[in-house]
A = this chain, B = another copy of it.
Amino acid sequence: MHPLQQLMNPSSIAIFGASNNPMKMGSIQLANILETGYEGRVYPIHRSEETVMGIPAYRSIAEVGEPVDVVQLVLPTEVVPEILEECGKAGVRRAIVISGGFKEVPGDVGVERERQLEEVAARYGIRFLGPNCVGIMNSLCSLNTTTIIEPPMGGSIAFASQSGAYTAMVNPYLRAQGIRMCQTLSVGNEADMDLTDCLDYLRDVDEVKAVGLYVETIRRPREFIAAARETARVKPVVAIYVGGTEAGSRSALSHTGAISGPDELYDGLFHQAGVIRAEDLDHMFDLLWVLSMQPLPAGRRMAVITNSGGPGSSLAYHLEKAGMVAPPFSPQLREKLDAATGPLTYTGNPIDLTFETNIFIFKQLLELVYESGEVDGAFLYGIFGAPDFMVNLKKRLPQLQAMEESWDQGYQAFLAELAEIPRAHAGPLVVMSFLGKGSSSINTLIENGVAVYPSAVRSARAMRSLLDYDRIRHNLVSGGEKTL
């Protein structure tokens, strides 16, 4: 069993540094552990307080008197090695060291402190994350040890990161998109466990369908490549790397003590490792989202179905720019599409429904293009929030209210069915819409496994990543060289 298995799924957790002083980072983290639904035992360790936030506190780890699976340390740097030693003596074997002031600070003192930490851990067989990290989140046991509230728990994306901020502060952005994460691991300075360990662990977590990495340096390139290749055989790995410029490299050094290398070197490393490189964090989550939910396309031929010319033209343009094609449909297919649609519909590829207001037709069109065998995947842009149009109408025509409610019910059921079509036909679907998660229609699509992007270029890059991963997996499994 990988040491991260216990660290990420503890039956009990003790936290050092939490108190009744709300301005302490440890207090915020304890509040989050207590309020996120974690059902394990929680032990605040504090030298003087009898209770912390209403639960019993202990003067030391020894006083707890029961086995503790994981300790989280949020303490002044100087005392961290000594406290870790106390934990080791008490039988603790997994730790999360939040405290900073180690290798990432200039000068020898930080390096020496980190060495002490490693030495204590080795002596007691303690495996740990950090120092200089923000904690972990695991939606599978409702555990959030970070300072950030309300992680977007669920889904099947895991994220391991050399930036703690990125694993936790990104939450509001992800919530707004409708993207959820099931596990996050902030690795900090990686004094003990690193991104390679995270890959070894996450590979075998069945609930995780796609893995994201934020990289400032790879400390064990050979092991990383081996671990990533093994992982990419079973699930996609997407990474971002920002050490490859002068200032990026200088910043990484001061951040986690990382020695970074040129961009091209990391491009090569990721390529060899079967890792898809994303441009930035937002792009990485765009890709992880679709990769964690949609089937892989058999080829690069794409259908575009819209009810608006601009989005249709934009999708056609950007899918081609991203290395896919939107082939004109055959006369046989167009005949079928024409029969299903109104006179102002253009049934080439893109299909543009223009003034067609029967939105339910989308499902039929999608089935027709998949069944034709002429495409390997599809993009959809539509007026998914049709009830939104009615907001002002209802003020002027009150009789609409009842009509809208019955219509909306049928509409949500229709969208849920629509979302099943890609899996039934083993062809991926990507939806473009300007309606955000605030729209019940978009929520229905997302809840049923469809990724929704607010632009053509983001939609096209998402679909492209499915093709990229299909090629990577094929080559890793067969040893061949499948190209696009």
Contacts and interface: CB of A to CB of B under 8 A. Distances in A.
A457 B328 contact: no
A396 interface: yes
Interface string A326-360: 10100000000000000010101110101101000
A469 to B, nearest CB: 22
A246 interface: yes
A214 to B, nearest CB: 6
A35 B352 contact: no
Contacts of A457: 279-280, 282-283
A30 B325 CA distance: 40
Interface residues of A, number: 105
Given A35-B395, A308-B165, A357-B23, A313 B389 contact: no
Nearest to A437: B176
A316 B383 contact: no
Given A100-B354, A456-B281, A392 B317 contact: no
Given A282-B457, A389-B147, A250 B328 contact: yes
A388 B175 CA distance: 14
A436 B35 contact: no
Contact of A54 (B27, B148, B245, B396): B396
Interface in A437-459: 438-439, 454-458
B246 A320 contact: yes
A171 B434 contact: yes
A31 B396 contact: yes
Nearest to A256: B309
Interface string A274-310: 0000011111000000000000000000001000111
Interface string A123-150: 0000000000000000000000001111
Contacts of A240: 314
Interface of A: 20, 22-23, 25, 27-28, 30-32, 34-36, 53-54, 100-101, 104-106, 147-150, 161-166, 169-173, 176, 214, 216, 240, 242-248, 250-252, 254-256, 279-283, 304, 308-314, 316-321, 325-326, 328, 344, 346, 348-350, 352, 354-355, 357, 383, 385, 388-393, 395-397, 400, 403, 434-436, 438-439, 454-458
